[in-house]
């Protein structure tokens, strides 16, 4: 009888000791065949190789636009999703500080500050909204697209330009005296087709995949860096086992590799648009200075309007920028010393990171205003 009892318990043990799979729904508004859609397909394939986490995927807008997706994730109708910071700023307004005009000077600076200074800062703010930040998602530099050329801020005056309804974008458009039309992502293309809007603000890849057929001019104003995020419902995420958390956090792979891939694709998109006859306009340093000057008051306006932790986030960004500048100076000195030791000619250490990035961008685009 004792042997039978032990055998019975042994049969029950695997079922009792193994945690159940974590089930959920993933949602996003990724255009089919876009770089973000392709990333979701890779994540789907990777998760299919294991049994810890089982997700149903609705990542091509099946559950609506970003506004609806965010609503669903917070309330547990969806459990994990990808969205732009512009969408997330509707519930965490301090994100607008990172999207203010000309906060960052280079992509390398963006990576450093976001990873080392802003991830934890924003994760705490997300937690207050029942969200967990899993990873940043690359989007890229924002520019201004339109049906007529916009080379300087005054060229935008009076034009009906679409921007996300967040304060950073709206104050940017107000600063260049555009007629701002806040629209959700689902209304964007129909509004360009009907003439409700004449252009808008977006990242290069978004313009390539979504709006380039309806606006043949794109100005690389590089006024803000658009980053997305993978977020999860906190209640759902907190119920996951340690192994399931590792699966979820590791599903998107190496962020540096993903960033490099998206940035390379953005360079390719610029070339392809030029080949199609779309006027992609790089700006000289003097032109960029005009844009900076026109939008110089946006940051203090944002801090005053948002309140909350806005000032703290701004100070965190400034601390990160100082740390990045110090690290860059050390690397430049080391490179100079190596160059002298090898008798090689090196770039001037006085060249800023922003100037280096602008030279690279101009080389991809053929450099110059037309």
Assess if residue 31 is contained within a domain.
yes
Assess if residue 3 is contained within a domain.
no
pLDDT score of 359 = 41
Assess if residue 316 is contained within a domain.
yes
Assess if residue 13 is contained within a domain.
no
Q: Report the DSSP pairing between strands 131-146 and 225-233.
A: antiparallel
Assess if residue 295 is contained within a domain.
yes
pLDDT score of 324 = 98
Total number of domains in the chain: 1
Euclidean distance between CA atoms 277 and 218, whole angstroms: 11
The whole domain housing 324 covers 22-365
Nearest partner of 205 among 226, 188, 185, 184, judged by Cα: 226
Q: Kindly give the parts of the chain with pLDDT less than 70.
A: 1-19, 340-370
Transcribe 96-127 into DSSP letters.
HHHTSTT--S-HHHHHHHIIIIIHHHHHHHHH
Three-class DSSP category at 182: strand
Assess if residue 267 is contained within a domain.
yes
Nearest partner of 365 among 218, 226, 210, 258, judged by Cα: 218
Residue 219, beta-bridge partner list:
144, 281
pLDDT score of 19 = 61
Q: Please, what's the b/e burial string for 237-269 (b: 16 or more CB within 10 A of its CB; e: otherwise)?
A: beebeeebbebbeebbeeeeebbeebbebbbeb
pLDDT score of 362 = 39
Q: Is 91 exposed, middle or buried (0-12, 13-18, 19+ CB in 10 A)?
A: middle
CATH number at residue 201: 3.40.190.170
Query: According to DSSP H, which parts of the chain are helical?
Result: 2-17, 35-47, 66-74, 85-88, 95-98, 107-113, 119-127, 167-175, 188-194, 204-206, 234-238, 242-250, 255-275, 285-294, 298-306, 310-342, 353-365
Q: How many residues does the chain have?
A: 370
Assess if residue 78 is contained within a domain.
yes
Residue 33's contacts (CB-CB under 8 Å, 6 or more residues apart) are none
Assess if residue 233 is contained within a domain.
yes
Q: Report the DSSP pairing between strands 279-281 and 217-219.
A: parallel
pLDDT score of 257 = 85
Euclidean distance between CA atoms 112 and 120, whole angstroms: 13
């Amino acid at each position: 009888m004792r042997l039978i009892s032990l055998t019975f318990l042994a049969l029950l043990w695997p079922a009792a000791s193994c945690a159940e799979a974590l089930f959920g729904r993933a949602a996003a508004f990724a255009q089919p065949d876009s770089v973000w859609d392709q990333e979701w397909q890779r994540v789907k394939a990777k998760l299919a190789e294991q049994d810890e986490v089982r997700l149903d995927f609705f990542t091509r807008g099946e559950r609506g636009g970003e506004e609806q997706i965010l609503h669903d994730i917070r309330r547990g109708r969806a459990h994990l999703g990808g969205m732009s910071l512009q969408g997330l700023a509707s519930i965490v307004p301090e994100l607008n500080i990172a999207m203010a005009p000309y906060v960052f000077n280079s992509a390398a600076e963006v990576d450093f500050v976001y990873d080392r200074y802003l991830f934890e800062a924003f994760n705490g703010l997300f937690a207050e909204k029942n969200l967990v930040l899993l990873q940043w998602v690359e989007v890229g530099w924002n520019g201004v697209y339109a049906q007529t050329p916009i080379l300087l801020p005054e060229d935008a005056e009076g034009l009906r330009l679409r921007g996300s309804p967040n304060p950073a974008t709206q104050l940017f458009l107000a600063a260049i005296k555009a007629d701002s039309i806040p629209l959700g992502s689902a209304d964007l293309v129909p509004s360009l087709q009907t003439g409700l809007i004449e252009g808008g603000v977006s990242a290069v890849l978004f313009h390539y995949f979504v709006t380039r057929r309806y606006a043949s001019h794109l100005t690389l104003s590089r006024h803000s860096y658009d980053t997305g995020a993978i977020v999860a419902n906190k209640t759902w995420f907190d119920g996951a086992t340690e192994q399931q958390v590792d699966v979820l956090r590791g599903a998107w792979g190496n962020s540096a590799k993903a960033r490099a891939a998206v940035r390379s694709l953005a360079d390719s998109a610029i070339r392809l648009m030029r080949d199609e006859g779309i006027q992609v306009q790089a700006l000289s340093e003097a032109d960029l200075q005009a844009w900076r000057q026109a939008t110089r008051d946006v940051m203090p306006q944002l801090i005053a309007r948002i309140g909350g932790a806005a000032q703290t986030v701004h100070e965190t960004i400034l601390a990160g920028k100082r740390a990045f500048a110090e690290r860059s100076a050390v690397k430049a000195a080391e490179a100079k010393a190596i160059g002298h030791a090898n008798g090689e000619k090196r770039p001037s250490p006085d060249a800023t990171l922003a100037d280096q990035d602008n030279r690279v961008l101009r080389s991809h685009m053929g450099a110059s205003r037309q």
